[in-house]
Amino acid sequence: MKAYRAIGTFRSGKTEQNYTLDLVAKDEEEARHRIYSNFGSRHGTPRRFVIITSLSEINPLNSTAPRVIAHFRDTHDFSAPRPRNEEE
């Protein structure tokens, strides 16, 4: 399993809402499916209104998402200070 970060927009009512989502999946295809499923179940948004601008594999240590930390807690040390990104 790998950690992915998705960035994009989804329609919420009449407005476009930005999102950044970190998730765990075995490949990019499964990651896309999980993104669509997440917004469909949580927000009732059809897949055609979920726009994925970028989907990239990330180092699990760069994520603060509880699902990513829980999945990789046996193989990575999350207690050490996180490395800083250029984005921060």
Task: Specify if 56 maps to a domain.
Answer: yes
- Identify the residue with better confidence: 85 or 79: 79
> What residues make up the domain containing 42?
2-72
Task: Specify if 68 maps to a domain.
Answer: yes
The total number of structural domains that make up the chain: 1
Per residue in 33-64, pLDDT tens?
A: 999 999 999 999 999 999 999 999 999 999 99
C-beta separation of 69 from 23 below 8 A: no
Q: What is the pLDDT at residue 22?
A: 96
Q: How far apart are CA 50 and CA 36, in angstroms?
A: 7
Mean pLDDT over residues 2-13, rounded? 95
- Identify the residue with better confidence: 83 or 9: 9
Task: Specify if 87 maps to a domain.
Answer: no
Task: Specify if 21 maps to a domain.
Answer: yes
Q: What is the pLDDT at residue 85?
A: 63
C-beta separation of 68 from 24 below 8 A: yes
Task: Specify if 88 maps to a domain.
Answer: no
Query: If DSSP codes are grouped into helix, strand and coil, which group holds residue 72?
Result: helix
Question: What CATH number has the domain bearing residue 40?
Answer: 3.10.20.10
Task: Specify if 37 maps to a domain.
Answer: yes
